[in-house]
Amino acid sequence: MSNCFLFDNDGTLVDSEYLCNVGLVLMFRRHGIELGADELVIRFRGWKLASLLSILEEEHEIKLSANFVKDYRKIVSELFDNELKPVEGVIDVLESLKGPKAVVSSGPMHKIKQALDLCGLSKYFGDNLFSSYEVGIWKPDPGIYLHAAKEMGYSPDRCIVIDDGPVGVKAGCEAGMKTYFFNRFNEECDSAGVVSFRRMAELPELVGT
């Protein structure tokens, strides 16, 4: 039986983390607050949006409007339309990995689908898309990956997680799955058994295809 590959989306399949945080920079600028997109990428990759906004509200002593998320999503969607690209080397990787594949993301479903469509990746996953917003579970809770495995018909020990965020790596490990950390920023990882790599092209050899 083949392995089942469970991919994170933002920053793993599509090069969207920076664009998502540019959206936050633009939104907070409306409040006279200057944030750095690069710093936000490092700090909040894979986080639930509501959680990171709550922290930023507290740090900057502001209360965001009820329309903030809607306006933010619109800005990000426009940035995606104009600038989104697949992660370098990921198409070759998806072509070479033999076995079913799914996307397991903390983002809303419409954002997942838009990103995959724009980057030409939808054909590799079909309907195997799992969003925290639909499941009601956010990384680092391992439940999101366990749910995806169950729906795909695979036991955790036959699943391989590929994620670029520390919270996602933690979720994969705690789900009992072999976890590969797409570690573009050369960060420390204290989760036991994680395989860290910096270039997507390295992945097929690491998983033994």
Tokens of 17: 């983390």
Parallel, antiparallel, or unpaired: how do β-strands 178-182 and 195-197 relate? parallel
Which residue of the set 8, 15, 163, 164 is catalytic? 8
C-alpha–C-alpha distance, residues 64 and 67, integer Å? 8
C-alpha–C-alpha distance, residues 91 and 99, integer Å? 15
Strand partners, 6: 102, 161
**Phi and psi based region of residue 100 (left: phi greater than 0; alpha: psi -120 to 50; beta: remaining):** beta
127 three-class SS: coil
C-alpha–C-alpha distance, residues 164 and 184, integer Å? 8
Neighbours of 186 (CB within 10 A): 7
Of 92, 146, 84, 137, give the one whose Cα is nearest residue 112.
84
Q: Is 164 a catalytic site residue?
A: no
Non-local CB neighbours of 7 within 8 Å, separated by 6+ positions: 13, 101, 102, 103, 104, 125, 162, 163
Catalytic residues: 8
